Amino acid sequence: MDNGQVKNIVIVGGGTAGWMSAAALSKLMPKGQGPEGQGNVTLVESKEIGTVGVGEATIPQIATFNERLGIKEDDFIRETQATFKLGIEFVDWAKKGDRYFHPFGTHGFDLEGIEFHHYWNKLREQGDDRSIEDYSINAVAAYNDKFIRPQSEHGPIINKLGYAFHFDAILYAKFLRKFSEGHGAKRIEGKVEKVNLHSDNGFIESIALADGQVIEGDLFIDCTGFRGLLIEEALQTGYMDWSAYLPVDSAVAVPCEKIEEPIPYTRSTACEAGWQWRIPLQHRTGNGYVYCSQYQSKEAAEKTLLSNLDSKALASPKHLRFKTGRRKKFWSKNCVAIGLSAGFMEPLESTSIHLIQSGISKLIALFPDKSMNPVERDEYNRLLDVGYAHIRDFLILHYTLTERDDSAFWNYVRTMQIPDSLKRKMALIESRGRFFKYDDELFNVTSWMAVAIGQGYTPRGYNPMVDGLSEENITQSLSNIRTAINKAVKAMPSQQAFIDRFCRAQDVYTAVGENI
């Protein structure tokens, strides 16, 4: 008897998005009993169709995803050749010769309920020229190549250390495939030839493969990348183009040999028509150049990337084109788009894998029955809409704050129109360093202040409540924070020593491609 429950989930497309979806759904869905039970997860992918790894660098929320699935962190690190990431260093973004650090921890400690940066800014106005990074254990540890995993016994300073990972996205997909199949997910090799829709309601009824197989499902997850085979080609959902705000539309990537111990942070270096990433893994270094094709040719971009490598390239450069933006609906009828099929906003702040994770977690929270209740579907779309917009604005902030005028690209992004939502945030920051998180906003006050201050957009004033503490008290408190951070970092092991002790990969894996 059909009780209306979703029994068959079909994921079309593998890669990071497909196997993260399969891992979560196969692990967390109730399995039921007998042929009428829930929890049948089938993933269809073709070896003929290459996958685009959506990122080798992540943000701290990825640990929550792995933990929820019961994946042990050290196992994950070993299997994916991972290293730790304490933040991102931005080079030449405000102007050539500048650099700043966006930490995953916090700046200092709030005092008397007032955010730390207000106290720092008061002393700055009175002539103290210390960088706000001096009050970030993440920044100090990163620049000293140190790392330790925070534990309750470490005390308040080290427990401010937030971290994420650099990992090989292809190895992560393989790791999750093994995990998913261990929890009952089924993989089918095949290329989709046709998507069959119900004649009455337009829902996806089945997919037909090139070998003649027809796979029916109640809920379909589109992980087919930029193409959007289900969400766009079959259901014609539409796309919201954000390239006017985020004009980079191309990338070229290549791995190179590891020649030194990996540093615990990502580096983003501004170039003529975009920016270059450097991501250190246990076995190699990932490199790529994200650029706007309107301002630089494919050949020139490749030459720029190859000329900036630390060591010998391990493969031929891999090129990719994309359009920044998102689907007008992430969930349409009985299809949910996850990953690149849902949208893409460039990898500047390593948000691509987080958006996969966010889409999966919200689907689980709003998991439907076969009727695909519009109330649940609309709320899913609203939440993802808000989440994408907040990330979009944070990415635009990096570009609009530049002072660079040395190329047509930087002149464009420096003078382009920006969304009203970003204008409001920037006005609050500029006046007295005010910041408020809206809805389920991803990036917090530390992130916004790191970028704003790092690129010279330092608030003109501070919260007057700061004046409730004497200048002497503030000065001593900040001195104590600096001393405690430096002492804690000095006692930490190097990142390499920590990896060697707890989570060193067993085999050296030589990459043949690169992930974006």
Give me the active site residues, please. Answer: 85
Tokens of 272: 């003529």
- Three-state SS string over 293-330 comes to CCCCCHHHHHHHHHHCCCCCECCCCEEEECCCEEECCC
d(CA 135, CA 109) in angstroms, rounded, equals 9
d(CA 423, CA 430) in angstroms, rounded, equals 10
Find out whether 83 and 282 touch, Cβ atoms under 8 Å: yes
Local structure of residue 146 (DSSP, 8 states): B
d(CA 170, CA 352) in angstroms, rounded, equals 15
From first CA to last CA, the distance across the chain in angstroms is 46
| Residues whose CB is less than 8 angstroms from the CB of residue 165 and which lie 6 or more positions away in sequence, other chains included | 57, 58, 62, 63, 76, 77, 80, 82, 83, 84, 85
* Helix residue spans in 168-325 (DSSP H): 169-182, 298-307
- Burial class of residue 306 (count of CB atoms within 10 Å of its CB; 0-12, 13-18, 19+): middle
d(CA 430, CA 228) in angstroms, rounded, equals 40
The DSSP element (H or E) to which 156 belongs, if any, is: none
Tokens of 301: 């971009």
d(CA 294, CA 408) in angstroms, rounded, equals 10
d(CA 436, CA 242) in angstroms, rounded, equals 24
> Which strands form 266-271's sheet, in the order they lie side by side?
99-103, 87-91, 266-271, 274-280, 284-291, 250-257, 318-321
Find out whether 264 and 146 touch, Cβ atoms under 8 Å: yes
Beta bridge partners of 251: 290, 320
d(CA 55, CA 17) in angstroms, rounded, equals 11
d(CA 228, CA 30) in angstroms, rounded, equals 28
SS3 477: helix
d(CA 247, CA 444) in angstroms, rounded, equals 25
Find out whether 330 and 238 touch, Cβ atoms under 8 Å: no
| Residues whose CB is less than 8 angstroms from the CB of residue 27 and which lie 6 or more positions away in sequence, other chains included | 69, 70, 179, 180, 183
